[in-house]
Amino acid sequence: MRNDYQVTRKNIEALILSCFLNQNRTLPLDEIEFKDYKLPYEIFKGNKTNKIIAKAIHNLQEKKQPINDEIILDYIQERMTINPNDYFEVSNYTWCTFDTAVDYIERLKVIDADEIKLSLLRGL
C-alpha cells in the first residue's frame, strides 16, 4: 500500500496555530513560553483563515491578553466574518509542545524564504 502524503504550508500553519490556540491546555511550562513568544504572523499565508487567526493571536499578544480558541474566535467575529469550518479545522488540529511549535515556525520561515526566492526567479 502506498501513501502519498504531502505536508503543505497550510498543514504546518494549522499545527502551529492550533498550538497557540490551545496553549491553555498544554503543560504549565509550555503555557508560560507560549505567552512570552511573539508569533511572527507575517509568515502565515496558507489561506485567509490562517492569516486572520495568526494576526488575531499577534494582536492579543501585543495587548498582553489571554489567548485560547474561544477568545480568538470571539475577537475575530467582532471584527469580520470567518469561515467557521476552516476555523474549526485549525482549532482542532493536534497540538504540540512549545519547542515543537517553534521548530515548525522555523520550518515555515524557510518555506516562506524559498517561496519568495522562487517568485523572484519566475519574475526574471
Report the pLDDT value the prediction gives residue 62, as an integer from 0 to 100: 96
Measured between alpha carbons, how far is residue 82 from residues 37, 68, 72, 88 in Å?
25, 17, 11, 10
- On whether the CB atoms of residues 19 and 96 are closer than 8 A, the answer is yes
* Helix ranges, the chain (H): 9-21, 28-36, 48-62, 69-79, 84-91, 98-123
Measured between alpha carbons, how far is residue 23 from residues 4, 12, 92, 120 in Å?
31, 17, 13, 37
Nearest 5°: the CA angle 20, 54, 94 is: 40
Most confident of 1-5, 32-36, 54-58: 54-58
* Boundaries of every domain in the chain: 9-123
> Considering the domain 9-123, what is its CATH architecture?
Orthogonal Bundle (1.10)
Report the pLDDT value the prediction gives residue 27, as an integer from 0 to 100: 87
Q: Quick one: average pLDDT of 36-42?
A: 95
Q: Quick one: average pLDDT of 23-34?
A: 90
- On whether the CB atoms of residues 54 and 44 are closer than 8 A, the answer is yes
DSSP annotation of 64: T
Report the pLDDT value the prediction gives residue 6, as an integer from 0 to 100: 59
d(CA 111, CA 14): 15
Report the pLDDT value the prediction gives residue 8, as an integer from 0 to 100: 84
Q: What is the pLDDT of residues 50-106, one digit of tens each?
A: 999 999 999 999 999 999 999 999 999 999 998 888 899 998 888 889 999 999 999
Instruction: Check whether 5 has a pLDDT greater than 60.
Output: no
